[in-house]
Amino acid sequence: MKVLVVGSGGREHAICWSILKSPKVSKVFCAPGNAGIDSIVNIVNIRLDDLDGLLDFALNEEIDLTIVGPEQPLAIGIVDLFRRNKLLIFGPNQHSSQLESSKEFSKIFMKKNDIPTANFESFSDFDLAREHIKRSEYPLVVKADGLAAGKGVRVCYNFEEANEFLIFIMQDKIFSTSGDKVVIEDFLEGEEASFFVFTDGKSILPLDSSQDHKRLLDGDLGPNTGGMGAYSPAPIVDQETRENIMVDVVDPVFAAFKRDRIDYTGVLYIGLMIKDKKSKVVEFNCRFGDPETQPLLFRLNSDAFDLFYMTAKEELSKYKLEWKKKSSVTVVMAAKGYPGKYETGIPIKNLSEFQDKNVEIFHAGTRKVNGDININGGRVLGVTAEGDTLKDAISSAYRSVDKLDSTNLVYRKDIGKKGLIKIA
């Protein structure tokens, strides 16, 4: 089988790495890829938003399966285009992808179908939004309606913070047209976790739990990012909590898909806020999370290619999901200045010499220039390790981080520690 993976981040590196293990896969391409992906599969220089270019390549190469990693191609209709041309592709169509590409669409869907989430209001007029935050109770959450690479959300603890972020979104347009509308919602107390469900439109397959670390700094301080690390499984999702998630969230979501005729296939990310073993939905994403994909696929013991292929072929009920009885941790190393301004083009020393059979370094914002691997994005590397226990996995990951050149990189030093507290 020939596979095309669309994307250039750590998630796509992990997907390529995992499906290459399958004996059914003969060749893998990735567009546009990064320096790490380039070392294991064939890189194709086609932009994420060049849907016609991606289609032509898939047709000419007779690609058997296309796996879409990031949200942007889904939001602009790559799945619809490929299906019209009789190509097998993994991911939801453009209409379904509004669950991620529009916060308002997502919140209306949840409210209509009694799916537990925070109360909200949406605004396309700055003055009306400003009046709302004047009379609101704090803390509250302000979100850009459209896609913003995980940075369009801020928890605000007073009017000044909320007003500043509204100005950034709606007047300064730091997220371009994604900030034409905002969603303002109540703050939810609890602990966040990520829950992924594969579906082929007929059956569903929940994966094991994971937990992301969205804030830049230790102790969940600092600005929101695309994710500074993750681990799996997440002890907060114990058996009782998992059963509650299925009954209170997952089953109602997929029942609503049928009622509303939402033809959803692929993987649905459900971001949850958990308190006292009960969950409320923070957000939906219409693709694998990054960096949660890395520790999840690291623990997967069954064929990763089959998981994507059988979902796209509407044969998911035949897939036998198996996990390693281990924990896995990913520590993200980001460029200094991220999620604000940061410098690119800086070489990362000693990366090519790194070797550890129990650790994988999944590249995100990297580019190869004259033999050097350079910083080429905000989140640069995802150091991923496994261990018999979560504590072992954390230790292994940070031992590897210490061996790498972090002169121009920053990282959190507490990835996974929430899990250790839960275990204790």
Phi, psi (rounded to 5 degrees) for 167: -65, -45
Residues 283, 103: contact at Cβ < 8 Å?
yes
Distance CA 350, CA 122 (A): 48
- Model pLDDT for residues 132-164, shown as the tens digit of each residue: 999 999 999 999 999 987 788 999 999 999 999
- Which pLDDT score, from 0 to 100, does residue 424 have? 61
**Strand blocks (E) in 112-179:** 120-123, 140-144, 153-156
Structural domains of the chain in order of their starting residue, each with its CATH number:
2-91 (3.40.50.20), 119-186 (3.30.1490.20), 191-423 (3.30.470.20)
Question: What is the dihedral sign for C-alpha 255, 75, 1, 23?
Answer: negative
Residues 210, 174: contact at Cβ < 8 Å?
no
- The pLDDT profile of the chain, 424 residues, written as one tens digit per residue, is 999 999 999 999 999 999 999 999 999 999 999 999 999 999 999 999 999 999 999 999 999 999 999 999 999 999 999 999 999 999 999 999 999 999 999 999 999 999 999 999 999 999 999 999 999 999 999 999 999 877 889 999 999 999 999 999 999 999 999 999 999 999 999 999 999 999 999 999 999 999 999 999 999 999 989 999 999 999 999 999 999 999 999 999 999 999 988 999 999 999 999 999 999 999 999 999 999 999 999 999 999 999 999 999 999 999 999 999 999 999 999 999 999 999 999 999 888 778 888 899 999 999 999 889 999 999 999 999 999 999 999 999 999 999 999 999 999 999 999 999 877 6
- Model pLDDT for residues 79-115, shown as the tens digit of each residue: 999 999 999 999 999 999 999 999 999 999 999 999 9
One-letter amino acid of 220:
D
Cβ within 8 Å of residue 94, ≥6 positions away: 74, 75, 76, 77, 79, 80
CB count in 10 Å sphere of residue 251: 12
- Model pLDDT for residues 205-229, shown as the tens digit of each residue: 999 999 999 999 999 999 989 999 9
pTM, 2 dp:
0.94
- Model pLDDT for residues 46-76, shown as the tens digit of each residue: 999 999 999 999 999 999 999 999 999 999 9
Distance CA 219, CA 231 (A): 16
Distance CA 182, CA 122 (A): 6
- Which pLDDT score, from 0 to 100, does residue 354 have? 83
**Could you say which DSSP state residue 179 is in?**
G
Phi, psi (rounded to 5 degrees) for 26: -100, -30
Distance CA 311, CA 306 (A): 8
